[in-house]
Amino acid sequence: MHCTHQGKGESILFIHGMPTNRVLWDGIIRQLSGNHRCFAVDLPGMGDTPFVPYGPDYLDGLAKQIELLRIKHGVKKWHVVGHDAGSAVAVQYACRFSPRVGCLALLSPAIFPELKPFYLLNALRKPLVGEVMAPLLHFVFWQIAMRRAISGGQNRDAFRAFYEPFSGLTGAWQLMRLVRWGRPEDILSEIPARLTALPMPTLLVHGKRDVLPPAFAERAASLIPHSSMVTLDAGHFIPLDRPNEVAACLRAFFQENRAAIAAPLRVRKRGKLTALLRSAVAEPRNLEVHRSMTGVS
């Protein structure tokens, strides 16, 4: 698993979703690396990590690879941040190796069995149809859907980085192979139970214009015992749309929980999170904070 890191201080692990790569986090890492040691991985088949065939223990295998990275780099404990399908990997890791996780943050979490794959990718997942339609669907997905989703001149480099593993004569079928990861009702069936067992402070971030329903983040926040939820004026690719706000939210969340990480959960005091987030974000009008612990918006 390819991994890059920079900065110094408390460690943070960033896990992207599909079909992006570690470049998704560049804008956030630039702001946090002054006070944090930031790690960003490429999941299999994306970025510089080779594709790995899917299987029943796929998520657990990724969690074990991430744990090997932690050991390799001498990290005692790190915060873990996931986006989209990377949130499922983050939950799996946080559940299996919870003593090694300080705080958890899940952005646009695609983690529930009711997940409906994006319609263009869903067509690629179908046998025979996917093989025949792969070139056309590949073109429409990247040149229309993804270009619209990742708009703005500042995101051109990110788009090129995401597209690179799927370029060339075989790119369409490489994308097809990547998205055939199984049925959500099977792969993600155990996620809800795992959420209820997470012991660490967790931040959920949802975009107002996200293609995923807000019910996903809201449900996750209701299941995780020690969680808070933030809604930003963003689309699905929140780290690209709002890097400043996301970095500020993470910084504030980690700061509030720094002293509490090693303390018993029953004595944690979480009353300052709303004030920290509101003061840290440059555009407070784009931010809504929901406290899942109290039920107060």
pLDDT reported for residue 64: 96
Rounded distance, CA 248 to CA 255, Å? 10
Average pLDDT of span 283-289: 40
Tokens of 180: 């055939």
φ, ψ for residue 291, nearest 5 deg:
-95, 100
Q: 39-63 burial, b for 16+ CB within 10 Å, e for fewer?
A: bbbbbbbbbebeeeebeeebbeebb
Residue 276: which of 216, 226, 203 has the closest Cα?
203
In the predicted model, is pLDDT for residue 227 greater than 50? yes
User: pTM score, two decimals?
Assistant: 0.87
pLDDT reported for residue 181: 87
Domains of the chain as residue ranges with CATH? 3-115+188-290 (3.40.50.1820), 119-179 (no CATH)
CA distances from 241 to 80, 192, 247 (A): 20, 28, 12
CA distances from 159 to 38, 48, 146 (A): 21, 15, 8
Rounded distance, CA 38 to CA 254, Å? 13
Average pLDDT of span 169-197: 92
Angle formed at CA 235 by CA 159 and CA 135, multiple of 5 degrees: 45
Instruction: Give the least confident one: 18-27, 69-78, 123-132, 247-256.
Output: 123-132
Count CB atoms within 10 A of the CB of residue 4. 17
Instruction: Give the least confident one: 37-46, 203-212, 278-287.
Output: 278-287
Question: In this predicted model, which residue has the larger pLDDT, 289 or 98?
Answer: 98
Rounded distance, CA 134 to CA 128, Å? 10
In the predicted model, is pLDDT for residue 287 greater than 90? no
